Chain A
Amino acid sequence: MNKRTQQLESEILKRCQRGDKAAFRWVVQSYQRLVFSLALKMLCDEEESKDIVQETFIRVWQNLESYEPGRPFITWLYTIATRLCLDRLKGMKQLVPLAEDESMLRQFASSSSEGRAIENREWVAIVRMLAAELSTKQRLVFTLCHLEELSSSEVEQITGMDAKQVKSNLYVARQTIRKRLIALGYE
């Protein structure tokens, strides 16, 4: 994000803090996909993910006055969304891969890697297949660090973990997924 975009975003967020709903609509349109991405990869459910998106932005709207302008908005947004996802996961059953998930993963793995967008149902299947054996923390760190490509410091801020915890959880998650893929026949 360049400086001009940052200034624009900062100005829009100030307007949101003053209660400008039109400005907040811009925020929703700009960031709802990001929140949906995190929620879908964490919950593996489209409707639940949309609920999380809606709830996240309601929380953002209600707590905009506590947002510190100096702090990156995305990090703050991820923090709210992450907490909601973790709360939702507590009430959900453990992820269990379905029969069609494996075929979906094979289809993805065999397709050409360049320029292919992954559909939502593919995401759900792939994550269910890969993250089934991960703990909630490992899954969260793997999602944020690997799938969302956030920096280690950002993940620390979002999750509240220190660098060592993030690093160890990410390492364990990658190793677990590799073993899982190897077990599925991918070398």
Chain B
Amino acid sequence: MNKTDEILERLKGQQPVIDDSEDLTERIMSSLPDREVPRHDRRNLVGRTLLYTSSIAAVLLVGFFLYQNRPKEQPVVTQQTETHETPLPEPQNVEQENTPQTVEKHHVVKSQTSNVTLANIKRDVEQLHVSSSEEPLLASSEAERDDSPSPSERAVEQLEEEPVISPEKQALVDIFLAEEVLQVAYEMHEQTEPLRAYIATLEGRELETSHQIISF
């Protein structure tokens, strides 16, 4: 190895010594600036904030969308039924006020001021007709029944065209109407009891027990 190569080899890998390394360390440490949150943490913070914000916004948007597109609540039937052109038959006597027609009229009038549905009225009327067919004294004359729809039927038909109310309100209405029907039937039974007793006397038979009449 010649001298030049020897000199170059001796310079390899040698490191100078810092004579006051502790002082230099202190100098460096004291000159370090205060670091805030590292940039990548700030990025994460911003990213997390954006994520949370967008998530909340998405949830709100979905909620708003669902609210806007919710199934529309069935409007309550409040429309007034049209005035009956055909007057209801005049009662033949006091007891006839509780005939099925009277009850129909009662319900039709009631439907003008309360939330009545087609199904309820229809069911009540049918029940009354069934009970009236079983009870001759309560039945109206067959002549009064013609092919033209009765006012209640027309009201029913009109109500058929109207949307029904929500199931919850429907249930409340059903309960209310059921009570009303029961009350009417009970009153009707009380009022016809003397007449039924008189007819039974004339026919020479015994009067039926009241629980047989109020069977519905």
Contacts and interface: CB of A to CB of B under 8 A. Distances in A.
A186 B8 CA distance: 12
Interface residues of B, number: 31
A34 interface: yes
Interface in A104-152: 108-109, 113, 117-120, 123, 126, 146-149
Interface stretch (A20-28, A84-92, A154-162): A20-28
B17 A33 contact: yes
Nearest to B19: A120
A186 B4 CA distance: 6
A72 interface: no
Contacts of A119: 16
Given A17-B38, A109-B7, A54 B16 contact: no
Contact of A50 (B10, B18, B32): B18
A34 B35 CA distance: 25
Interface in B1-33: 2-4, 6-19, 21, 24-25, 27-29, 31-33
Nearest to B43: A65
| Contact size range, A | 35 or more
B182 to A, nearest CB: 79
B39 interface: yes
A78 interface: no
A76 interface: no
A118 B25 contact: no
Contacts of A28: 25, 28-29
B40 interface: yes
Contact of B4 (A36, A41, A53, A182): A182
Interface in A66-109: 66, 108-109
A36 B18 CA distance: 7
Nearest to B34: A19
Contact of B16 (A36, A146, A177): A36
Nearest to B14: A118
A146 B11 contact: yes
Interface of A: 17-19, 21, 24-25, 28-29, 32-34, 36-37, 40-41, 50, 53-54, 57-58, 61-62, 64-66, 108-109, 113, 117-120, 123, 126, 146-149, 174, 177-178, 181-182, 186-187
Interface of B: 2-4, 6-19, 21, 24-25, 27-29, 31-33, 35, 38-41
